[in-house]
Chain A
Amino acid sequence: MSPDQIGFQTLLKKEVMRFWSVLGQTVTAPVITALLYLLVFAQAMQGRASVYPGVSYTEFLLPGLIMMTVIQNAFANTSSSLIQSKVMGNLVFLQMAPLGPWEWFGAYVTAALVRTTLVGAAMLLVTIPFVQLPIREPAALLAMFLLSSASLAVLGLIAGIVSQKFDHIAAFTNFFITPLSFLSGVFYSVHALPAFWYQASHLNPFFYMIDGFRYGFFGQADVPLLQSLLWSLGFFLVASAVCLWMLMTGYKLKK
């Protein structure tokens, strides 16, 4: 293995160890929160008409909840790691190391994927007593999961790079990630919305991530799978280009 590969592998391992050391906060807590959403909403909406033919509301809700949690945790993993290192000052260890932009990018994003895989798998496991989801399109499911996780991990990296304190990350989360993930069709089908909000939802990239992910389970969704894949891929590519430019130029990292 080349020194560069060892460097990448070490940074990846360190990022996984970082969230692993606080597993209660990084995996257990979001799973419990999502489970509470499921129980409350499933109870409140019991008896409502099916959103899709043959799909109960609880079944409809769970993939959206999983993806919402995945999105929020992918963002939180990269952004919080970077801002903590900045605030604590220990980012210098990485900055002085012979690691290039691609190693930073790859290691941070992959570590976030490991965390979101754990979160997603844990959610599926703990909800088995309540809902048994079919998996009609596994390839679509996997593609949407990876694209969505990676996109939000990259967005978290960008937020971590431009932020100088925890407040800045909180602003990203409170004014961007949380509203967009809640208004993305997690709890409802966008077809049930008034015309304006129906159109507005189609400008929300998180809507496509959730809708495409749901397609993987049921083989049906609000928009065609290709549209969701292209939106998610486009989002990932644009975010990655911005992020890599920041890492290559040292934007907000080098004085």
Chain B
Amino acid sequence: MSSSPMPAVAISGVRKSYGPLQALRGIDFSIRQGEFFGLLGPNGAGKSTLISIIAGLVGADAGTVAVMGHDTVSDFRAARRKLGVVPQELVFDPFFKVRDMLRIQAGYYGCGKESWPWIDEMLERLDLADKAGSPMRALSGGMKRRVLVAQALVHKPPVVILDEPTAGVDVELRRTLWSFMTDLHRKGTTVVLTTHYLEEAQELCERIAILDHGQVQVIETTQQLLARHPFRFLRLKLAAGAVLPESLRALVSGEPNGSVELKLETARHPIASVLETLRLAGVAIEDVHTRDPDLEDIFVELTGGDDA
């Protein structure tokens, strides 16, 4: 008998088609309890479909999903009580005020007045306290996004899914949100994040799955993912009139801000040899900058350059 702890989310053989379109082609992976997990992929990769299946909004054609050991179909009540989902769309109920909406949401999950202090705490933490008595329809987009986050957390679920929570929001909200979520994560909440901001995923997520064309392309820790890229980048600001030698032109990966960026395979093109080639060719250089590959480079490599 296995002694490994029960996964927060266990996805097994999940398939889903919409007519001839195969949105998910057999997804198998687990998210461990307490992880900050990233689910990345280009548009149309199947991320939203997978999240909708976990949340119970979409029925899978095949396979099973369990949240904290509870099957999302046969034991849906227990599974849903363990899960909070922040939807991607900015949806709200125009009939209610912010605090009323949160209390209603808590009631759906079987939470009574004992949840009210927690609701007030969330209103404070998410800078919504002064909007608690405002009708939902009167809030700005950013404020509505904060309410969506609070709605997903009213029942204190051990697993939270954030479906592109920072799309189109300002820096302040982004900071507030990540401060709140990292705090919850420290206290043991499992957080699953989908985002188009790869630097967010790189900074926050311990493990990342990249989905493409309805399949998991890779699932590794963020460090493993970054280490698998055998390249380094060398950015050169050439002096006026200087021309890159012919032998180095094949290595150019981009020309950001008037510089030239070379993508160097660490084994074949040591930086020292590139600089020596430039010196021998008499190319004058104003500035040199190196950088390690980031998640975006890995993502482009794995998904063939589709948008995140």
Across-interface contacts of A22 in B (CB, < 8 A): 95
Q: Quick one: which of A9, A94, A98 contacts B76, CB cutoff 8 A?
A: A98
Assuming A6-B107, A98-B81, A98-B108, is B58 touching A254 (CB within 8 A)?
yes
**Interface size classification for chain A:** 20 to 34
Check if A95 sits within 8 Å of B56, measured CB to CB.
yes
Most buried by A among B18, B78, B104: B104
B105 contacts which chain A residues (CB < 8 A)? 93, 97
Q: Is B57 in contact with A9, judged by CB distance below 8 angstroms?
A: no
Which partner residue on chain B sits nearest A81 by CB separation? Answer: B95
Whole-angstrom CA separation of A254 from B111 in the bound complex:
25
Interface of chain A: mostly helix, strand, loop or mixed: helix
A92 to B96 Cα, complex, angstroms? 16
Q: What is the minimal beta-carbon distance from B250 to any residue of chain A, in angstroms?
A: 47
Whether the pair A254, B85 counts as a contact (CB closer than 8 A) is no
Q: Identify which of A88, A99, A254 contacts B108 (C-beta below 8 A).
A: A99
Mask of A1-38 contacts with B, CB within 8 angstroms, 1/0: 11110110111011001100110000000000000000
Q: Could you show 24 A-B contacts with beta carbons less than 8 Å apart?
A: A2-B110, A6-B107, A6-B111, A7-B107, A11-B107, A14-B96, A21-B95, A22-B95, A88-B91, A88-B93, A89-B89, A90-B93, A92-B57, A92-B87, A94-B108, A96-B80, A96-B85, A97-B80, A98-B77, A98-B81, A100-B76, A254-B58, A254-B59, A255-B18
Interface residues of B (CB under 8 A from A): 18, 52, 55-59, 76-81, 83, 85, 87, 89, 91-96, 100, 104-105, 107-112, 151
| Residues of A bordering B, CB below 8 Å | 1-4, 6-7, 9-11, 13-14, 17-18, 21-22, 85, 88-90, 92-100, 250, 254-255
Q: Which 7 pairs between the two chains have the least Cβ-Cβ distance?
A: A3-B110, A10-B107, A89-B91, A97-B108, A98-B77, A98-B80, A90-B93
Known A3-B111, A96-B57; further 16 A-B contacts with Cβ < 8 A: A6-B110, A7-B108, A7-B110, A13-B107, A17-B96, A88-B92, A88-B93, A92-B87, A94-B108, A95-B55, A96-B56, A98-B79, A100-B77, A250-B59, A254-B57, A254-B59
